[in-house]
Every structure is written in C-alpha cells, then in structure tokens.
Structure 1
C-alpha cells in the first residue's frame, strides 16, 4: 500500500514521530509523549488510524491496538517510503538567538527542507550555553525539528547538532556551494547550476563581525545579500532557504 492509498481510505489523520522499526503485522509501543497526545489530547480510541514515521524516511499506516494507562500499542498495517524530502541538501549554520527566535528559525528551516542545522556561537552573539543547559537546549531544538516534520509531512528528521563555535563549523565544511548572508556586500543570488550540497551561514541579531566574515570568506563562503531591507536573524533563513529551494530544490 502507498501513502496515497492509506490517506484515501482514512482521510486526514495525525502524523507522529516514533523512532521504531516498522514491520507489517507487528505492534509498536508508542513512547510516552505520542501516547499521551493521541489518547489524552486527541482522545483516540482503539481501532483509530494514524500515520507514524521513524525519522529516517519510513512511514507506517497503523491502528491503535491497545490503549491503557501503562501502554499504548499501534498495529502496523502498511509501510512505505516517505516522499517529503528535498533533492537539495542544505546544512544551515544558524547563530544562536534569544527566546523563541531560535525555535522559529529551526521550525521554518525544517519546513523548508533543510538537511541539518548547527547552532553557532559567533563574536556578536549574546547567547552562551554551558553544560547541562546546552544539552537541554539541543534536545529542545531537536524536538522542535521533529514536531515540524510531523506538521510538514517530512519522514526524515534533520539532525540539530550540538552548538559549536563558528570557526569549528567553518573548518568542517565540505559543501561545494557555501553562502553567508551579509547585507553590506550587494551581491545578489546568481548561481545557475544545481550544487550537490549547500552550506548556509546566518549571523546573529547584530550581524556577523568583521572577523567572522573574514573567517567565512577564508573558508570559501560567498557573501550574499537578500535585498535592501535588514532581515531579522530568524527571518533570514526562511528567505534564503526559499530561494535555494526555488532554484535548486522542489519549490
């Protein structure tokens, strides 16, 4: 059975991220979060259909087989390959911003098909996370990415890497096309051939510093402007990714 067949039979239904192996005829125990959502929030009963995805590209059409306080089981009736991934691989390096701005940037980047995200410490960035706080933030951002996949129809959950210094991220880059947003350059987007992969660098609220820009240029990043207006740090990746997906992806 294909995804279209399952949806044609059952209509619109919840899509949940469950990192498990899907085998037709087997039962999958829902983790606490998804189980609580379907039973207490959506109040779904035994026999109700829904779709699960494993985060690595597989989806499953399931029915709730057992609902109790201790365990919620879903019976797998069909398995298929997800089809929501972009043909363009983009690794986003996003300077960490305060409050829910970073959440917004990650959510929208995932909706726009980003392949991986690395939160970055930059010279002008005013967020510095340490120890357990950094681990908790990374887990929170990864959960934001998974939720965005549930909403947008993606079956692959992009990895949100541990935060790192901009210099370390630049050293790791191997993508043939490397772009950074820098308003002052005046360089418009004029790439014509589809690249194998893209690295996209977005600075903090105060912009990239001169030393950050120099380091990125030394790592073969091309400065790019998105017009005469100054975009917020959480708006910039939305616009840049939309452009990239339009020219080289599936928008």
Structure 2
C-alpha cells in the first residue's frame, strides 16, 4: 500500500528546482512530529490549484531545506460558492464548525455577532481569534487535500452581513419553525449565503430583519440541531443537492 505523502502549506509562489528554507513551525512539524529526514518527499500547497512535490535536502542546526521537484494541477474545489455566516459560539463548537465546513467545501466564512451570542467583542480578542480560526482552516485544508484556502472575514454584526449579497445570490437562514426544506429550493446560480445561529438561535426581531434581507428560512428536519451540527448538516445538504457530493 502506497504511503500517504505529508502535506504542508507555505504562503509563497514556487519555481521548479527552487530551494526553500522552512519556518520554525513547519520545521518542527516535519522533524519532530512526522520524524522525516533527508530525501523524504513532501507535498506543498500554496493557495493555488497546484500542488508542489518536493524533497528534503538538508536538516541541520535547526534548519530544514526542501527542493521543489515538480508541480501538478489539482483542482478539487466545489462548484458551489458557499459563504457561511456563523454566529460566534463557544470555542470548541466554533472550531468544529469551521473545521468541518472547510472539509465540506465552504468557500468563505464570516464570524457573526448576534443578540444571543456570548462572546467578548474586544478588538484584541477578535483579532487573536481570527488568526486562530485561520490556522484551523489551513489545518483542515492540509488534511482534506484542498489546495485553495477558504477566506475568513473579520467578524461582523448580523444586520451588516445580512444586507450584503452578490448578484443573484441565494440567501438561506436555518429556522426550525420553517415549513420549507432544502429540497424545495431552486438553484439560480452557484452562489449561496448561509446563516447559522448560535445555541439560543435568533430573537424574533432578528429573524424578521433577516427575512427582510431576502433570506429564505429553511428547516433541516424535525429535530433541533446543535450549532456545529447544523453547520455541517446544512453545507452537506447543499453539496448533495447542488454541489459535488453524489
């Protein structure tokens, strides 16, 4: 059985036969976690639809150098452009929802402030969180073999985000009280704006304003889902009906 080639992300453009000195984080991961050594093969991705096969050519004095051997085009991006608005929730739930939605093919994520979200809106806290969430996204891409890194936007208030849209974008909000389900949606194009609430859901006034912004209330079934489960279920349902799951 062929061994799986380890993957790492490097934010850089490459040329064939170029030598790259890895940063401390990647060096530690390669040498201490994976215990790789000279002549071992790596797969590099860099937010393009290409992968770059490389090999380790030097490991010494806390320095690791790789040589870029060749590049291959590999586009596994979903045909759907799903922009996920995720109301900020507890750390583990938020982290899980971001990680799994990336694995399922989400294109863009915006963390959302709503009435019932329980989060300190201090700018420093949010800045640190965005860096942390971006690292979760990169790690998820590393695992699921996506080569394009989904964008995570700065956090926004719910009404600000809901008022935005691309031309002909289908806007969806999960609402357990709705009588409509995803099977009743029609696809106008490949752009979806999906809003997921926190554990407390949305206030009645918030939902009224969301619907005024042309969001379609959708239910996923008779059971009430946790935030992180709802995000996974909704993205999966969209990919099955309109995307590349099948």
Where do residues 51-130 of structure 1 align in structure 2 (5 Å cutoff)? 51-130=43-122
Q: Determine the structure 1 residue equivalent to 2:171.
A: 178
Superposed CA RMSD in Å reads: 1.5
TM-score (normalizing by structure 1): 0.92
Could you say what secondary structure the match of 1:100 adopts? helix
Instruction: Provide the rounded CA distance (Å) in 2 between the counterparts of 1:51 and 1:202.
Output: 34
Where do residues 144-223 of structure 1 align in structure 2 (5 Å cutoff)? 144-174=136-166, 176-189=169-182, 190-193=184-187, 195-223=189-217
Q: Determine the structure 1 residue equivalent to 2:243.
A: 249
Could you say what secondary structure the match of 1:235 adopts? helix
Instruction: Provide the rounded CA distance (Å) in 1 between the counterparts of 2:24 and 2:50.
Output: 21
TM-score (normalizing by structure 2): 0.94
Relative to structure 1, the CA distance from residue 137 to residue 248 in structure 2 (aligned partners, 3 Å threshold; closer, same or farther) is same
Match 1:39 to one of 7, 15, 31: 31
Q: Determine the structure 2 residue equivalent to 1:3.
A: none
Instruction: Provide the rounded CA distance (Å) in 1 between the counterparts of 2:61 and 2:152.
Output: 32
Residues 174-203 of structure 1 show CA distances to partners (whole Å, capped at 9, x for unaligned) of 252110000011211112436220000001
Contact 1:18 1:31 (8 Å CA) reproduced = no
Contact 2:54 2:68 (8 Å CA) reproduced = yes
Q: Determine the structure 2 residue equivalent to 1:5.
A: none
- How far is the alpha carbon of 1:160 from its aligned partner? 1.2
Contact 2:80 2:243 (8 Å CA) reproduced = yes
Relative to structure 1, the CA distance from residue 35 to residue 194 in structure 2 (aligned partners, 3 Å threshold; closer, same or farther) is farther
Residue ranges of structure 2 left out of the alignment (5+ in a row): none
Instruction: Provide the rounded CA distance (Å) in 2 between the counterparts of 1:24 and 1:146.
Output: 24
Instruction: Provide the rounded CA distance (Å) in 2 between the counterparts of 1:89 and 1:16.
Output: 24
